[in-house]
Amino acid sequence: MEKMFEGTTINDMQLSNRSVRSATWEGMCDTDGRPTTKLASFYRDLAAGGAGLIITGYTFVRQDGKQMPGKMGIHTDAFGSEMRALTRAVHDEGGRICIQLVHAGGQTTAKTAGRRPLAPSAVKVEQFPEEPQAMSRQDIDEIVAAFGDAARRAKEHGFDAVQLHAAHGYLINQFLSPLTNQRKDDYGGSPEKRSRFLIEVYRSVRSAVGPAFPVIAKLNGSDNLDGGLDVRDAVQAAILLDREKIDAIEVSGGTSASGEKGPVRTKVDRPDREAYNLALAVEIKKAVRCPVMAVGGFRSPDVINKALAGDGIDYISMSRPFIREPGLIGRWKEGDRSPARCISCNGCFKPGIKEGGIYCVVEKKEQHRRT
């Protein structure tokens, strides 16, 4: 795994290895989105365990873009001290932390958002809990500005990078997808027009943080939905981002309506079921100059090494393995190359709703048996 443990840089950010803890909703924030000391400790453990780059759980840029309970918010300046505690916890362990910026759009609800959800078009599709309101040009301009304001706060609070969540059926992805974007204006129609919102968000963020600060995008290689964004559309969006000098693209796939081909798949229990978005990431890598990260079911060093050394992917992102083993990268670096112990059961997310924070329920049961 020599490739995994190479030091790299993304813009002005130095990383100790090619592993990325992909964004994961943790459910560890107060009801208003204020991060807690529990979340800071969670990130500290990831940094101490060797993760090269930690990407936070999806963080809403406006109140009406919130989705899950316990979700972090960067829509206000009021959380500055708590945000700085997060970044300090990671930096004290020598780690790097990137905040993921999101607006959930039509994938939230009126109850959570405090208003009728906003989306590119007023369409009722399976991934939307209720029919949203089509966004006006003013809505678009205001949310674009909110992403920029959030990025400015992130830099001030000590984050090392920002990531735009343009995947998994959230607002930016809703503009990219012909299924959820049925607009007839300059934001709908061709892949280039459907990418306009994404590019405007990127420019707003870049203007707020400057040229040397890393800006990353998380992009679906495919929505895995009939009528949704496909790999050809994704490649076009990636090319446009690359031209704008995006610093890296993380490739994922699926939405909440994609069934067995959603973002968080189960039964990743043998090597041939791992790396389920790798082919999409390879297609995007062929089309861009910027670094590409691949996420989705990586568990085994051999599979990871092939993706890095054989397929030319620049970084490997993982989520659930780090919930069970925050020290996974350190274990591999020390020579224990057995696969990640995660069994892909998705049980880790239930405590996030019921107990105020995700954890591996399998690991907890085994610990109880050992004691």
**Which residues form the catalytic set?**
170
The strand pair at 97-102 and 133-134 is best described as: unpaired
What is the torsion angle, in degrees rounded to the nearest 10, for the CA atoms of residue 268, residue 338, residue 351 and residue 255? -30
| Cα–Cα distance measured from residue 340 to residue 86, given in angstroms and rounded to the nearest whole number | 26
| Cα–Cα distance measured from residue 317 to residue 312, given in angstroms and rounded to the nearest whole number | 14
Alpha carbon 34 to its chain's center: 19
Four-residue CA torsion sign, 182, 66, 249, 305: negative
Alpha helices in the chain (DSSP H): 37-48, 80-91, 110-113, 137-156, 171-176, 191-194, 196-209, 231-243, 278-287, 301-305, 320-324, 328-333, 350-354, 361-370
Kindly report the number of other CB atoms within 10 A of residue 32's CB atom.
12
| Cα–Cα distance measured from residue 206 to residue 245, given in angstroms and rounded to the nearest whole number | 10
CA atoms in the 13 A half-sphere facing the CB of 250: 32
| Cα–Cα distance measured from residue 156 to residue 321, given in angstroms and rounded to the nearest whole number | 31
Between 80-91 and 137-156, two packed helices, what is the crossing angle to 10 degrees?
A: 50
Residues 97 and 90 sit within 8 Å (Cβ to Cβ):
yes
> Which H/E stretch holds residue 107?
none
